[in-house]
Each structure stands twice: as structure tokens, then as C-alpha cells.
Amino acid sequence: MTTTEPSATAAAPESLLASPDMPSQREINAEIADLHAQAAAREAAGESVPNTLYDFAPYRSSVLRHPTKNPRLVDPETIELWSPAFGQRDVAQIESDLTLQHRGEPQGERITVTGRVLDSWGRPLANQLVEIWQANAAGRYIHQRDQHPAPLDPNFTGAGRTITNDNGEYFFTTIKPGPYPWKNHVNAWRPAHIHFSLFGTGFTQRIITQMYFPGDPLFALDPIYNTIRSQKDRDRLVSTYDHDLTVPEFSMGYRWDIIVDGPDATWFEQEEGGH
């Protein structure tokens, strides 16, 4: 048997998950309000402020992991104006149904999640790889480092993927994830969310984000949701309940569109006169 000695500098990842100071929710709320006000003031003063704030101490694990310098504004090179090409060969149809991955039915509220992937001009993006992952109905991730003592569901993994159709639409069948406790501060809970990963048509448009559910009482308390500085932009991460998407006596339905941002190859063609 061979073993590999871990390097002396590496900390066990699970030990990094708890914040060093464990502030109260009240303190976190005050820090969030301060940072939102500061960002609004900077914007009012004419500064270009990103939608998602990188320097956001209420999210404690960001303190040593955010750049301290502003990013360099550069002209994208050709490779950055294209994205990897994905297609139906990259995923199997069944991978979009997270309730079918095991022998039995998962616990929880069965839902359809659907929407369109668009660019900033409203053009639907076909053949987009959409990857999602989420906690189970009890708020537990299958990840081995998740130590939340809620039950694992033997019939639910929580990962899915699909390719958008010609109208830029994606469709998932899954179960509604539960809220999830974490160790950012005392009694910290994440609002229920599904992680989404997309590429866009240029690498500049690549996005990883989180979709939330309407009316969650945890929104105002969550430092991660609030890394997004404006209410309008935060609202755009919240899906809409759509009764037309429900299946009678079977499932609920939520709709959520994703708008990718940033230049791609067609953007430059347009700039040059539209041919």
C-alpha cells in the first residue's frame, strides 16, 4: 500500500468552512447595509462598480480570496470571443431529470425549472451547455465535506445538465432544495438555491450563478445573495412561480431566464457594420 503525505501548508478543506470570528446575524446585516451603501455612493460618483462585489467581508471566506486591485480592462482577443462548442453529444437526455438517477423517487417537492438563455440583445442561445447542482429537499449536499446533519437521500444526487434547444430553452425536472445552514456566522442559513453554470457564445460571457425561489425569508440575511449590490440585480436571480408549468397532481413549476453578458464574435461583426 502506498500513501501520499499531504504538504505541510495545506489545511484540511473542511476546517476552512467556519469563519474565524462567528459574528451575529445582526452584525452581518449591518456590514451588508454598509457595503451596499458604499457601492451605491461609488456608483453615484461615476465609478464603474461590478454587479457582484468581490470585496465583501460579510461573506467571511472571501476576505483572503478576492483581488485587491481593479481588473484590467482589455480588448478581448479572438479566442476570448468564442466559447467551446457543445451539443447534444455532450449530454444524455436523461441527465436533465434529477429525479430519475436512482432506483426510487427522491423525497421532496417535485419541480420543473425552465427558462431561456439569451444574450444582451435578447437573442436566444442554442446549444448551450447548462450544468446545475443543488442540495436535497432537506438542505443536504451529497458532497463529502458537507457536515450538515440533515439526511442524505439515497434517491437524489442533485447534479444535472442539459443543452439548450433552438429557442435557447432549457428544461430540468428536479426537487426543490431546502435551505442550508453554514458556518459563516452564528445561525447562518442560505436561502434555497440551485447553482447554474453556462458558457455563452464567447468565453467572456461564461457565468456561474445561483437561482433562488420567490418569497424566501432568508434573502436579506444571506451574505452570498447580497454580494450582488443592487436590489434589481438580486431580484433577477429569483425565479418566478409559473402555474402553467405545473403538472396536475405531479409537480410545481418555476421559470428563470439567464442573460449572458460580454462581447462575443458576433458583437464585433455587428460593430463593424453588420455583415
Partner 1 sequence: MSETSATRARRGEAPLAPTAGQTIGPFFAFGLSYDRMHQVAFPHSPGAIVLGGTVYDGAGAPIPDACVEIWQADEDGSISRARGSRRRDDHTFTGFGRSFTTDEGHYEFWTRNPGSVDGKPPFFAVLVFARGLPNKLHTRIYLPDDQAALDADPFLSSLTPDERATLIATRTPDGGLRHDIHLQGEKETVFLAF
**Cβ neighbours for 64, distance < 8 A, ≥ 6 positions apart:** none
Which DSSP string corresponds to 102-126? SSSPPSS-EEEEEEEEE-TT--B--
Q: Which stretch binds partner 1 (CB under 8 A): 22-30, 38-46, 99-107, 267-275?
A: 267-275
Active site residue 180: yes
What's the CA gap between 48 and 35, in Å, rounded?
A: 15
Binding to partner 1 by CB under 8 A, coded x per residue (else -) over 24-63, reads --------------------------xxxxx-x--x-xxx
When the beta carbons of 206 and 255 are compared against partner 1, the nearer one is: 206
DSSP-derived letter for residue 19 is -
What the block records as the C-alpha cell of 68 is: 485587491
Determine the residue type at 51: N
Question: What part of residues 166-185 is at the interface with partner 1 (CB under 8 A)?
Answer: none
Residue of 190, 212, 225, 234 marked active site: 190
Q: What is the nearest approach in angstroms of partner 1 to the Cβ of residue 224?
A: 6
Question: What part of residues 102-141 is at the interface with partner 1 (CB under 8 A)?
Answer: 118-123, 129, 131-134, 141
Determine the residue type at 34: D
Q: What is the dihedral of CA 50, 56, 62, 67, to 10 degrees?
A: 50
CA angle (219 as vertex; 217, 225 as ends), nearest 5: 160
What the block records as the C-alpha cell of 14 is: 473542511
Q: Which of residues 33, 187, 233, 247 is near partner 1 by CB under 8 A?
A: 233
CB 168 within 8 A of CB 118: yes
Residue of 116, 140, 141, 234 marked active site: 141
CA angle (138 as vertex; 134, 140 as ends), nearest 5: 50
What's the CA gap between 173 and 20, in Å, rounded?
A: 38
CB 172 within 8 A of CB 121: no
When the beta carbons of 45 and 208 are compared against partner 1, the nearer one is: 208
What's the CA gap between 148 and 126, in Å, rounded?
A: 38
Active site residue 195: yes
Active site residue 193: yes
What the block records as the C-alpha cell of 120 is: 444582451
Q: What is the nearest approach in angstroms of partner 1 to the Cβ of residue 242?
A: 18
Q: Which stretch binds partner 1 (CB under 8 A): 37-45, 169-177, 224-232, 239-247?
A: 224-232
Residue of 148, 195, 206, 255 marked active site: 195
What's the CA gap between 180 and 148, in Å, rounded?
A: 8
Q: Which of residues 101, 165, 209, 246 is near partner 1 by CB under 8 A?
A: 209
When the beta carbons of 107 and 210 are compared against partner 1, the nearer one is: 210
Q: Which stretch binds partner 1 (CB under 8 A): 26-34, 36-44, 242-250, 256-264?
A: 256-264
Q: Does 246 bind partner 1 (CB under 8 A)?
A: no
Active site residue 241: no
Residue of 116, 161, 193, 229 marked active site: 193
Q: What is the nearest approach in angstroms of partner 1 to the Cβ of residue 255?
A: 14
Question: What part of residues 68-107 is at the interface with partner 1 (CB under 8 A)?
Answer: 68-80, 82-87, 89-91
Residues belonging to the active site: 141, 180, 190, 193, 195
